[in-house]
Amino acid sequence: MQVVSGIQPTGTPHLGNYLGAIVNYVKLQDEEEKAGRKCLIFLADLHAISMPHKPAELHSATLEMVATLVACGVDPSKTVLFNQAQVPAHAEMQWLLTGTARMGWLNRMTQWKDKAGKNREGASAALFGYPVLQAADVLLYQATHVPVGDDQKQHLELARDIAQKFNNDFASEDAPVFTLPEPYIPPMAARIMSLRDGSKKMSKSEPSEMSRINLNDDADTMAQKIRKARTDPEPLPSELEGLEGRPEALNLVTIFAALSGSTPEAVLAEHGNQMFGHFKPVLAELLVEKLGPLRDRFVELKEDREALTAILARGASQARELSAPTLDSAYKALGLVRGR
Ligand code: TYM
């Protein structure tokens, strides 16, 4: 088993990132440590340049994301924590894989379609090639398990397709260059939805701050966002079937269940028949109880830029070493003699 995953250092991380991915980084880190292995978690700063961004802010945002991850429980002594920009193998491997990825595959990516919108001609080539870099990120380390939310599933299927085609085209059956990675998606919190619209996922790029709980929101802000979250006038049902066609209600129940380590069924067994005026304050309290300590730790950690820089330097040096054998094999398989 080899666990690898990444998160973009743009925008403020939110409850969706936390429940969909970060909780599993920590869970797998602790399980893997017992087996004597290390997970790799990186800040996808190279991916961040695929959209308009402010260069002066990118490095600070990267350091803040390190502080967030550490505050959430990612432990740099157990996990290799680094940023892509310090490990050139990511960009190199992306180029090697660009020869294998097909235009048609990339054209079908929903993220490309969503982010480029109607302006495909004006979108960056980096946005189009984004999933190839993501494939490089995981294939470089022979990843088997990639903890992500549901929205990244398609990118991982593409990584598998690229790995498979590369192995078929350039490697012998008994000595494949790449391992085929599997997404590791939480059963419940795979897709946390916007608090304003239950049909859209909670996202950093959504203009309304009220649509998401940020991990650095203070207690009052969290409570206010939950109070104002869109719901319907019906009370909560006592069975799961009663949430059909009620995406906002389902989302709040899912958040409650994920945060309390319970299940939606159990939450409904306890809170069924309650009106939202009753349920929302209990949910807000739970959020503050679970996320408040993370926020406090984040606020403290983010001040020590030297310590955060040192974490990334150490992680990058480990990642450079770990990525070297696969990068070498890929060059060799393609008939290239790698420079040193
Ligand atoms: P990013 O930075 O958008 O999100 C980081 C992680 O959070 C998950 N996530 C969610 N999960 C549940 N509900 C939501 N509303 C929600 N929003 C986000 C994402 O699925 C992700 O796991 N392309 C990636 C970064 C990346 C990567 C990789 C991930 C680059 N290379 C290699 C895995 C492996 C991204 O933009 O995630």
Return d(Cα 156, Cα 144) in angstroms, integer: 11
Q: Quote the CA–CA distance of 47 and 25 in Å, as a whole number.
A: 20
Instruction: Give the list of residues 6+ apart from residue 97 with CB closer than 8 angstroms, or none.
Output: 132, 135, 136, 139, 162, 166, 330
Q: In the prediction, which pLDDT does 314 show? A: 98
Measure 228 CA to ligand 1 centroid, in angstroms: 26
Question: Could you confirm whether 115 is annotated as catalytic?
Answer: yes
Q: Which atom of ligand 1 is nearest to the CA of 7?
A: 2
Closest CA to 316 of 21, 96, 62: 62
CA 47–ligand 1 middle distance (angstroms): 11
7 lines ligand 1 (CB under 6 A): yes
The pLDDT of residue 340: 76
Contacts of 25 (CB under 8 A, 6+ apart): 5, 39, 41, 69, 72, 73, 74, 79, 147
Single-letter amino acid code for the residue at 317:
S
Q: Report the pLDDT value the prediction gives residue 11, as an integer from 0 to 100.
A: 86
The type of residue at 201 is K
Alpha-carbon span 221 to 288, nearest angstrom = 10
Asked if residue 195 lies in contact with residue 14, where contact means CB atoms within 8 angstroms, the answer is: no
Tell me which residue has its CA closest to atom 37 in ligand 1.
7
Q: What is the pTM for the complete model shown?
A: 0.97
Write out the chain's pLDDT in tens, 340 residues: 999 999 999 989 999 999 999 999 999 999 999 999 999 999 999 999 999 999 999 999 999 999 999 999 999 999 999 999 999 999 999 999 999 999 999 999 999 999 999 999 999 999 999 999 999 999 999 999 999 999 999 999 999 999 999 999 999 999 999 999 999 999 999 999 999 999 999 999 899 999 999 999 999 999 999 999 999 999 999 999 999 999 999 999 999 999 999 999 999 999 999 999 999 999 999 999 999 999 999 999 999 999 999 999 999 999 999 999 999 999 999 999 998 7
Task: For residues 121 and 99, give the distance between their C-alpha atoms in angstroms, rounded to a whole number.
Answer: 22
Instruction: Please tell me the distance from the alpha carbon of residue 76 to that of residue 54, in angstroms, as a whole number.
Output: 27
Report how far ligand 1's centroid is from the alpha carbon of 4 (Å): 12
Predicted local distance difference test score (pLDDT) of residue 9: 96
